[in-house]
Structure 1
Amino acid sequence: MHKPLAYHIDEAAKVSGIGRSKIYEAVGEGALKAVKCGRRTLIKTEDLEAFIASLPALVTGRAA
């Protein structure tokens, strides 16, 4: 199975586990790149992967 070149917003949310609203928010803030094809907003696969990689790591526990 091949990896898609891009996802529409609903697909990007599904494959990433990030909600649609958060995807739109990240695009609006410029943190996640998007492209337009007609009326459809697309997220390139490499841009979605880069966005997820840029998210901060979860730090658990309390500092001593």
Structure 2
Amino acid sequence: MNSETTTTLSQRDAYKLMLKEYPDVMDIVQMCQILDVSTKTGYRLIREGKICCIKVGRAYRIPKAHLFTYLCIGC
């Protein structure tokens, strides 16, 4: 008998692999690249509280975990 092993990734693991080249805490431009939206839309998502972030001075920093939450990964 020939048994084949099929590996399936969870959605969370798949996103971790796809986003591994991005830092754990990213800036607004990197977040917008991942979501494929304009920076204007990215700032709106943050302003509306849809994506949680950390404000450092005048700059926003978005932890990758918060982006996963926005994408409902692991919900």
TM-score tier (shorter):
0.5 to 0.7
| Larger Rg, first or second structure (1 or 2) | 2
Aligned length in residues: 54
Matching residue's letter, 1:13: C
Give 4+ residue runs of structure 1 displaced > 6 Å after superposition. Answer: none
Residue 3 of structure 1, CA deviation: 5.1
Q: Which consecutive unaligned segments of at least 5 residues does structure 1 have?
A: 55-64
Partner of 1:50: 69
Q: Which consecutive unaligned segments of at least 5 residues does structure 2 have?
A: 1-19
Q: TM-score, normalised by structure 2?
A: 0.58
Percent identity of paired positions between Structure 1 and Structure 2: 19
Q: TM-score, normalised by structure 1?
A: 0.66
